[in-house]
């Protein structure tokens, strides 16, 4: 067919090298490659969290009740404030990073160094804050009971306020020794024992008639729920956890199997077991990114001080770590929404 | 390379202000949880959560465009990064969330009892 016309510009040497269709250097493109793949990894994690949450939509823990701590404010329920503070710290360290990149475009070494330094400090404060958040999460506050079927029972008083196990559990004259390796018949041991035994919680519950059991189930404002005689309808509020009547509480507590204090990868006092797993995994993976970002920033910071990029006559390296650092901030924006807001 | 080396500091601080304001709004809404937004559903999700997700994507846009300087890149680079991620994430969420909801219904409506 004679109609075939070659429209390619044969004058230009397309394959002769030096052609940059994306107008970006190799290193920067590779950083974008990495960011795309890492973004998909995090999407996978957050998607899996959404999957599990949808799977247990009626019993999933309420983040407002889990993350309520603020430094130097003991016993004050301050949901969200602390993560909001962490978010601001990370956004601000992103700003100092982009200011460093901007100063790099002007080849202003001292300014780049100063802003890189602030970025590193911001990153360290963020990682430290996360460690503190983990400490509170692992330590727990109220304690709970796990039943034989694996569901979780928490305790409230007759005003609906959460009650700690230590506030009502009695101390029974029983002895329960932790099984350690040197006392085992074979390679047997067990993790630390909870402060109270199931029998002590049950006895304490009997001695305090005002205490009620709160289940994991989120109370709904529909007819079927309203007709349920096992629920204390004055204390249960829509979109909050269901509080049971005293009679039903006793019945449920009779099935108690384990005392749960704080959180680990197997069980946690907040509710669904998967909740703690996802919390540790996603915030841990993000925290690891922040940590490695800080390490990379420190390396680049020293290179800036040594004048490496002045010799190269380009501060593009600062731009590349900047991309990574902003990406870490970007991920946090999503983690913040998915874990703490919705 | 289209870096005109003019200083961007004004825009950087503007974006910082914007992100801070949006985060503050999110936190205030998250603490107060206005009933009008929290109790009304739109396409299976309450309005409050819609607002949170929209504001998150709004923030993500500014971080990528201003801080990561996506606005200065060539359209080719922009599309290959953003379109890939957006398409795959929507696809992933579509599959996972629908499947999660399906499993929830199996647990709820069938004879399988997991929580007793």
- For residue range A153-189, list pLDDT tens digits in order: 999 888 888 888 888 888 887 777 777 777 777 777 7
For residue A50, give the nearest of B60, B88, B96 by CB distance. Answer: B96
Whether the per-residue pLDDT at A1 is higher than 60: the answer is: no
Nearest to A341 among B30, B92, B115 (CB): B30
What is the distance between the alpha carbons of residues B37 and A98, in angstroms, rounded to a whole number?
36
Average pLDDT over residues A260-281: 89
Query: Is B19 in the A-facing interface, judged by CB distances under 8 Å?
Result: yes
Taking the CB of residue B112, how many other CB atoms lie within 10 A of it? 8
Residue B1 pLDDT > 50 = no
* pLDDT beyond 60 at A141: yes
Question: Is the same domain home to B56 and B88?
Answer: no
> Cβ of A94 and B56 within 8 Å?
no
**pLDDT of the residue at A68:** 78
Q: What confidence score (pLDDT) does residue A75 get? A: 65
pLDDT at site B70: 87
Helices A81-105 and A109-139, interaxial angle, to 10°?
160
Mean pLDDT in residue range A293-298: 95
| A36/B84 CB distance under 8 A | yes
CA triplet A82, A142, A159: central angle to 5 degrees? 100
Say if residue B94 is in the same domain as residue B44: no
ipTM over 0.90: no
The arithmetic mean of pLDDT across residues A129-142, rounded, is 90
Percent of chain A residues topping a pLDDT of 70: 95
Residues in contact with B71: Cβ distance below 8 Å, sequence separation at least 6, in sequence order: B65
The answer to whether residues B46 and B23 belong to one domain is yes
Q: Percent of chain B, pLDDT > 70?
A: 90
Are B44 and B79 in a shared domain? Answer: no
- Give chain A's domains with CATH numbers: 26-140+275-341 (1.20.120.80), 144-261 (no CATH)
What pLDDT sits at residue B115?
54
Q: What is the model's pLDDT at position B116?
A: 46
Total domains in the fold of chain B: 2
* Arithmetic mean of pLDDT, B92-104: 90
| pLDDT of residue A289 exceeding 90 | yes
Whether B45 and B1 share a structural domain: yes
Within 46-85 of B, beta carbons closer than 8 Å to A belong to 49, 52-53, 55-56, 59-60, 63-64, 66-69, 73-74, 76-77, 80-81, 84-85
> How far is B111 from chain A, CA to nearest CA, in Å?
15
pTM, 2 dp: 0.86
Determine whether the interchain pair A50/B97 forms a contact, defined as Cβ–Cβ distance below 8 Å. yes
3-state secondary structure of B24: helix
CA nearest neighbour of A272 among A216, A228, A322: A216
pLDDT of residue A125: 94
Lowest mean pLDDT among A4-8, A36-40, A269-273: A4-8
User: Is A296's pLDDT higher than 90?
Assistant: yes
| Choice between B73 and B6, residue whose per-residue pLDDT is larger | B73
Residue A25 has a pLDDT of: 87
Rounded to an integer, the average pLDDT of A275-290 is 93
**Which chain A residues are Cβ-neighbours of B107 within 8 angstroms?**
55
Q: Residues B56, B111: one domain?
A: no
The yes-or-no verdict on residue A8 having pLDDT over 60 is no
The answer to whether residue B3 scores a pLDDT higher than 70 is no
Output the CA torsion sign for A51, A56, A58, A63: negative
- Taking the CA atoms of chain B, what radius of gyration do you get in angstroms? 20
Contact at 8 Å (CB) between A134 and A190? no
pLDDT of residue B2: 43
Task: Tell me which DSSP letter residue B70 carries.
Answer: G
Among B40, B56, B72, give the residue marking a domain's end.
Answer: B72
In this predicted structure, what is the pLDDT of residue A4? 55
CA distance A72 to chain B (A): 20
Q: Which of A15-19, B46-50, B106-110 has the lowest mean pLDDT?
A: A15-19
Q: What does the mean pLDDT of chain B come to? A: 84
Indicate whether B63 and B79 sit together in one domain.
no
One domain for residues B90 and B36: no
CB distance B9–A36 less than 8 Å?
A: no
- Asked if residues A329 and A90 have their Cβ atoms less than 8 Å apart, the reply is yes
Give the pLDDT band (50/70/90) at residue B113: low
Q: What is the mean pLDDT of residues B90-103?
A: 91
Phi, psi of A53 (to 5 degrees): -70, -40
A147 SS3 class: strand
Q: Which residues of B touch A59 (CB under 8 A)?
A: 115
Residue B83's domain comprises 74-116
Q: Does the distance separating the beta carbons of A333 and B56 come in below 8 Å?
A: yes
* B10 in the same domain as B66: yes
The yes-or-no verdict on residue A291 having pLDDT over 90 is yes
Of A217-231, A292-306, B66-80, the range with the highest mean pLDDT is A292-306
Residue B98 and residue B116 share a domain: yes
Same domain, B59 and B83: no
Residue B66 and residue B78 in one domain: no
User: Which of A195 and B97 is assigned the larger pLDDT?
Assistant: B97
B41 CB near a chain A CB, below 8 Å? Answer: no
The answer to whether residue A327 neighbours chain B at the CB level (below 8 Å) is yes
Q: For residue B75, what is the nearest residue in chain A, using CA coordinates?
A: A22
Using CB atoms, which residue from B23, B92, B96 is nearest to A88? B23
Chain A residues touching residue B81 (CB < 8 angstroms) = 32, 35-36
Q: CA dist B87 to B52, B79, B81, Å?
A: 21, 11, 10
* Residues B10-67: tens digit of each pLDDT: 888 999 999 999 999 988 888 888 877 777 777 777 888 899 999 999 999 999 998 8
């Amino acid at each position: 067919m004679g109609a075939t016309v070659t429209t390619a510009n044969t004058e230009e040497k397309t394959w002769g090298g030096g052609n940059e269709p994306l107008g970006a250097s190799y290193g920067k493109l590779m950083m974008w490659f990495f960011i795309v793949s890492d973004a998909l990894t995090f999407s996978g994690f957050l998607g899996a969290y959404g999957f599990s949450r949808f799977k247990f939509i009626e019993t999933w823990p309420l983040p407002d009740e889990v993350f309520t701590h603020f430094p130097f404010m003991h016993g004050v329920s301050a949901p969200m404030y602390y993560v909001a503070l962490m978010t601001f710290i990370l956004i601000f360290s992103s700003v100092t990073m982009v200011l460093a990149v901007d100063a790099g475009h002007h080849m202003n070494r001292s300014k780049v160094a100063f802003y890189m330094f602030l970025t590193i400090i911001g990153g360290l404060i963020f990682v430290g804050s996360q460690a503190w958040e983990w400490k509170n999460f692992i330590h727990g506050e109220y304690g709970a009971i796990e039943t034989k079927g694996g569901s979780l029972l928490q305790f409230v008083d007759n005003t609906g306020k959460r009650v700690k196990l230590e506030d009502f559990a009695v101390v029974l004259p029983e002895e329960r020794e932790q099984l350690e390796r040197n006392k085992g018949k074979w390679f047997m041991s067990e993790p630390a024992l909870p402060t109270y035994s199931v029998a002590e919680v049950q006895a304490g519950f009997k001695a305090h008639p005002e205490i009620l059991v709160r289940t994991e189930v989120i109370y709904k404002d529909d007819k079927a729920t309203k007709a349920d005689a096992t629920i204390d309808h004055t204390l249960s509020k829509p979109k909050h956890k269901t509080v049971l009547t005293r009679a039903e509480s006793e019945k449920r507590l009779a099935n108690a199997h384990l005392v749960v204090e704080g959180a680990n990868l197997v069980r946690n006092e907040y509710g669904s077991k998967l909740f703690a797993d996802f919390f540790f995994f996603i915030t841990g993976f993000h925290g690891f990114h922040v940590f490695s970002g800080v390490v990379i920033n420190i390396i680049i910071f020293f290179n800036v001080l040594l004048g490496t990029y002045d010799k190269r006559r380009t501060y593009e390296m600062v731009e590349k770590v900047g991309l990574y650092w902003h990406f870490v901030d970007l991920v946090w924006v999503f983690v913040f929404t998915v874990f703490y807001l919705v | 390379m289209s870096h005109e080396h003019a200083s961007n500091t004004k825009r950087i601080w503007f974006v910082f202000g914007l992100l801070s304001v949006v985060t503050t709004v999110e936190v205030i809404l998250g603490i107060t949880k206005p009933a009008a937004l929290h109790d009304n559903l739109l396409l299976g999700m309450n309005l409050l959560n819609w607002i949170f997700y929209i504001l998150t994507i709004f923030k993500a846009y500014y971080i990528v465009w201003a801080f990561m300087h996506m606005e200065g890149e060539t359209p080719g680079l922009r599309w290959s990064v953003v379109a890939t991620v957006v398409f795959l994430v929507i696809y992933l969420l579509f599959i996972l969330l629908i499947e999660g909801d399906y499993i929830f219904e199996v647990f709820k409506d069938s004879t399988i009892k997991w929580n007793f």
